[in-house]
Amino acid sequence: MLRSLILATALALAGCTDSSAPKPSFHATDITGAEYGSTFALTDHHGTPRTLADFRGKVVTMFFGYTQCPDVCPTTLSTMSEVMRLLGPDAERVQVLFVTVDPERDTQALLANYVPQFDARFIGLYGDAAQTQAVAKDFRIFYQKSGDTEGANYTVDHVAGTYIFDPTGRLRLYVRHGESAENIAADIRALLAAK
């Protein structure tokens, strides 16, 4: 009898927890709890030093690429431009960051000319070779020169996904290249709505 009463009490208490509260369902890969990438320190295309803390209160998307990329980078930036359009007024609560993995060629002036062409609110970030390597390592980003590596006409092989931080600065999502603007916008709305 006592055993039945204890079991009934335990089941009743289990029912009192808020396990039924809906958790956000994302289109992107949920990487909540990943502890990397939050301490980057780079310079933006205006020459201002930047860290993740500068964007607290906004959803931050971060993509690694380079300005001479023939396909993946402009496609990703174009998709993010469409995401901002789809978000409407909520786009003001989102910051898109483009981090160059080609610090030798992607100067501040070149980033300032390239990145805002997709959306004036987008920010290009750069560092010297050591800073770039440190940030890439922190985010587990692979990149390397290929082709004419002794000259200036090389290409850079690099990971093509996008990281998304929530407004509190927690890394939450990894978006694979090729995801639709509609799905990314839906995921960002979910992060903006989360309490």
Q: Which residues are annotated as a binding site?
A: 69, 73, 158
Residues contacting residue 172 through CB under 8 Å, at least 6 positions apart: 30, 31, 32, 164, 165, 166, 191
Let me know: does 103 contact 127? Beta carbons within 8 Å: yes
What whole-number distance in Å separates Cα of residue 176 and Cα of residue 162? 7
The amino acid occupying position 82 is E
Q: Which residues are annotated as a binding site for Cu cation?
A: 69, 73, 158
**SS3 category, 151:** coil
